[in-house]
A and B are shown apart, each in its own frame.
Chain A
Amino acid sequence: MAKIIFSTNQKFALGKRRCTFCTNQMTDIDYKDIGTLKHFVDGFKKIKNRYYTGVCLTHQKKLANAIKRARHLALLPFTN
């Protein structure tokens, strides 16, 4: 499987912004998949805004839920 590159800095992206999850046809976001979740977390370990990442609303909600679950299980930290 080809490695998915998450572009989380789409604020100044040229052309049309596209959700990375939609383009890669990922319907569900797993809370155990820490490698992808890490891309959508701030330097202070806060969830990045949709404005900066370019994720669509449905996926952003799923993402936030997954990150919160991962935090509960000490897979991701709450703060830095």
Chain B
Amino acid sequence: MAKKQDATRVVLPGQDKKYELMLILQPDLLESATEKKLRDFEQYLEENGGTVDMKDNWGKRKLAYKIGKFDTGTYVVYNITLPNDFNQELDEHMRIDKDIIRFLHVSVKDDYNYTKFEEEKVVEEPKKEAPSAPRKPTTTHRASSREKTTTEIKDKGKKADAESLDEKLDKLLEGDDLNI
């Protein structure tokens, strides 16, 4: 049993349809060169019976993986209406172009509205301060404790005078509490 065909769903060749285009241009081009490139591209679309409804330039973005030799690319999104028998020619035109690294050309519904999404920002944690001097490998627990005391004294010595330290040492040595 044959299905009933909707009169609205039948698409004749040459009829206009809505599409979304996404281009990735190579990042080495200058801003003026990319603008000229896009202007020429829009002109090419209009020459072949298309109209540009919306254009959104995302700017330079880091790619998730390398494409050819490029790490970054300039993303541009177009919403266009085109005659439906022009798609193959457009795809070939974009494939031949060396400045276009990648492209996506998909049809959208007639009531499609372009929405701009924002990526979730990752909150960077404050980095822990790295220790100023690398710790020396310690053999025993006692040795490590000794080292700690010496480092503390050194730190204090920078601030306090060396003479005051000498006096303190003398007092300690003269004292009767010491049992050497």
Contacts and interface: CB of A to CB of B under 8 A. Distances in A.
A73 B106 contact: no
Contacts, number: 36
A13 B6 CA distance: 43
A74 B104 contact: no
**What bracket does the count of chain B residues touching chain A fall in?**
10 to 19
A12 B118 CA distance: 31
A51 interface: no
Contact of A74 (B102, B106, B115): B102
**What bracket does the count of chain A residues touching chain B fall in?**
10 to 19
Interface in A10-34: 30-34
25 contacts: A30-B117, A31-B104, A32-B22, A32-B77, A33-B117, A34-B117, A34-B119, A35-B118, A35-B119, A35-B120, A38-B120, A69-B104, A69-B106, A71-B64, A72-B102, A72-B104, A73-B22, A73-B102, A74-B24, A74-B64, A74-B67, A74-B102, A76-B64, A77-B65, A78-B65
Contacts of B104: 31, 69, 72-73
Interface of A: 30-35, 38, 69, 71-78
Nearest to B64: A77
From A32, A38, A72, A75, residue with most partner B Cβ within 10 Å: A32
Chain B interface helix/strand/loop/mixed: strand
Chain A interface helix/strand/loop/mixed: loop
A60 B102 CA distance: 26
A35 B122 CA distance: 11
A78 to B, nearest CB: 7
Contact of B65 (A31, A34, A69, A74): A74
Interface in B21-67: 22, 24, 63-65, 67
A69 B73 CA distance: 17
B71 to A, nearest CB: 10
Nearest to A71: B64
